Amino acid sequence: MRTLLIVDDEILLADGQRDMLAGAFAGRLKVLCRYSAAAAVEVASSEPVDILLTDINMPNVTGLELHRAVQGLCPACRVIYLTGYSDFDYAR
């Protein structure tokens, strides 16, 4: 079973995504949810993460920095960025 890690400092958004995806992929995808980059790195340090779904604009560590950290621990991890921020240029 593949593991999806959702990381967003907005707890309601992260929990909603977790609930929706866990229901849609029940039995096929293990869905984990964390609310900070530090907590996400702890997860990636202890188990393989196949897919990282992360907000880009988070306090302390951005989703871009988190991407690099998780890929250092799980090189095959695929990353999906999610943001509500209107200026997407910083992601490029």
pLDDT tens, residue by residue, 15-29: 999 999 999 999 999
Mean pLDDT of the residues in the chain: 92
Alpha-helical segments (H) within the chain:
11-24, 37-46, 63-73
Q: Retrieve residue 16's tokens.
A: 């909603």
- Confirm whether pTM is higher than 0.75: yes
Angle, helices 37-46 vs 63-73, to 10°: value is 10
